[in-house]
Amino acid sequence: MSHDAPDAGAAMAAAAQMTALRTPSDLDNAAAIAAAGTASRRRRAVVWTVRVAAIVAWLVSWEVSATYWIDPFYYSKPSAIWHRLVDWFTKGTAQGSIWTQIAATLEEAVIGFVLGAILGVVLGILLGRSRFLSDVCAPFIKAANAVPRIVLASLFVIWFGLGMSSKIATALVLVFFAVFFNAFQGAREVDRNLINNARILGASRTQVLTSIVVPSATSWILASLHAAFGFALIGAVVGEYTGADRGLGLLIATAQGSFDAAGIYAGMIITTVIALLAEWLLGGLENRLLRWRPPVAGAEAQI
């Protein structure tokens, strides 16, 4: 065992150095942090294993039953959907490159999302802070909110044509209401003490608005933005479905027209992936903006 000796010696030296540099409580802390890290990594591994197993079980049972018992013409099957996706990405779709379709839908959704969110935030905060305006507008907003908004897509096609603007308008309307109500509520529920304190400390009306009302409403607004991007995508896809010359909605509509169940699923999957990516981006933004908030479950700050 002679080759172990230098290693052991080095380890001893390192340990000696550590005890020299660190107090016992530092060592305890380091050990506690390491242990907590290991435990949470193990937990995550288990969660992911179970998730993957569930997906595999689902896909396999679908594939097997579509092969032997149910009619894949109506229900399709995972391998067919996979082939369709590969086809789209390698050879393109009947309407042209798949990337053109994705870009079109994404552009409509993003423009609709940004415009709708800005409009929703501005009007929400304005009405939330003005008793008079909100009293005047309340019935109109309620009525507008009660209109089945998907139907508006058809109207917008007539108004704005088959181009992008009709899809942007549909996305905008869906996003606007989702954001508006949250911004309104957020602006309304600002702590009176905070406002009074700011006024005493010397804040003007605009300063109260920008440095008290807006930050307080931010957590409400950000919460709504998560759902709102999903709505923007729905708006764009439904708009395209109603009538368009490109986009994911058009792919899905075409697939439906030719009884191509795999095509519908493939379109759905692409849309879902886009929505999840957007959700992830917005989550990052939210974490950055709401750094001041206590961690929800206390998982970050305590061990």
Give min distance, CB of 187 to other proteins, in A.
Answer: 15
Give min distance, CB of 262 to other proteins, in A.
Answer: 49
Beta strands in 77-157 (DSSP E): none
Residues 129-164 as b or e (16 or more Cβ within 10 Å = b)? beeeebeebeeebeeeeeeebbebbeebbeebeeeb
Amino acid at 288: R
Measured from the CB atom, the residue of 29 and 204 that comes closer to other proteins is 204
Give min distance, CB of 221 to other proteins, in A.
Answer: 13
Residues 228-253 as b or e (16 or more Cβ within 10 Å = b)? bbbbbbbbbbbbbbbbbebbbbbbbb
Give min distance, CB of 193 to other proteins, in A.
Answer: 4
Measured from the CB atom, the residue of 140 and 292 that comes closer to other proteins is 292
The footprint of other proteins (CB under 8 A) covers 191, 193-194, 196-204, 207, 211-212, 215-216, 218, 290-294, 301
Residues 254-269 as b or e (16 or more Cβ within 10 Å = b)? bbeeeebbbbbbbbee
Give min distance, CB of 205 to other proteins, in A.
Answer: 11
Measured from the CB atom, the residue of 257 and 294 that comes closer to other proteins is 294
Give min distance, CB of 50 to other proteins, in A.
Answer: 33
Q: What is the 3-state secondary structure (H, E, C) of 182-232?
A: HHHHHHHCCCHHHHHHHHHHCCCHHHHHHHHHHHHHHHHHHHHHHHHHHHH
Measured from the CB atom, the residue of 3 and 192 that comes closer to other proteins is 192
Measured from the CB atom, the residue of 188 and 199 that comes closer to other proteins is 199
Amino acid at 250: L
Measured at the CA of 180, the angle between CA 178 and CA 186, to 5 degrees, comes to 110
Measured from the CB atom, the residue of 21 and 296 that comes closer to other proteins is 296
